[in-house]
Amino acid sequence: MSEENLEIARQFAERWERSDWDGVAELADPAVEMHTTVGGIEEGRVMRGVDEIRRDYETVEETWDEHRVETEKLIDAGDRVVVFHREYVRGRGSGVELEIDAAVIVDVRDGRIVRVQGFMDRAAALEAAGVQE
């Protein structure tokens, strides 16, 4: 099952990076939950369903002149997969550029993504998933 979960998480990350929301919906449970990033400025918010997640993502994208995400590594944690990624952003108007090493835990049940949780701190993501790098 873990190999299947790794593949689902890999496809999810690729589709997310391309803003392929129809593709994300194919992988996600209809009631998928997206929890805002631990350590982020909106920590504690929860979005439900791909449509709500997409709308939130598109709203956030309006703050950036450029934003791209590159997956670096997938770590098997059984029914969870830890995805290490690097984000590149440039602020709209300010021109401020940031490069962020972060992580996401993707929970998979019955071949579908049921929960996504971002982490600003990769070590915290590993701890939450109960694995080591």
What pTM did the predictor assign? 0.89
| Domains of the chain by residue range | 2-129
Instruction: Please state the rounded mean pLDDT for residues 29-38.
Output: 92
> For residue range 42-97, what is the model confidence (pLDDT) as tens digits?
777 899 999 999 888 777 777 778 888 899 999 999 999 999 999 898 888 888 89
What is the structure's pLDDT at 5? 94
What is the structure's pLDDT at 59? 78
CATH architecture of 2-129: Roll (3.10)
73-112 residues labelled b (16+ CB within 10 A) or e (exposed): ebbebeebbbbbbeeebeeeeeeeeeeeebbbbbbbeeee
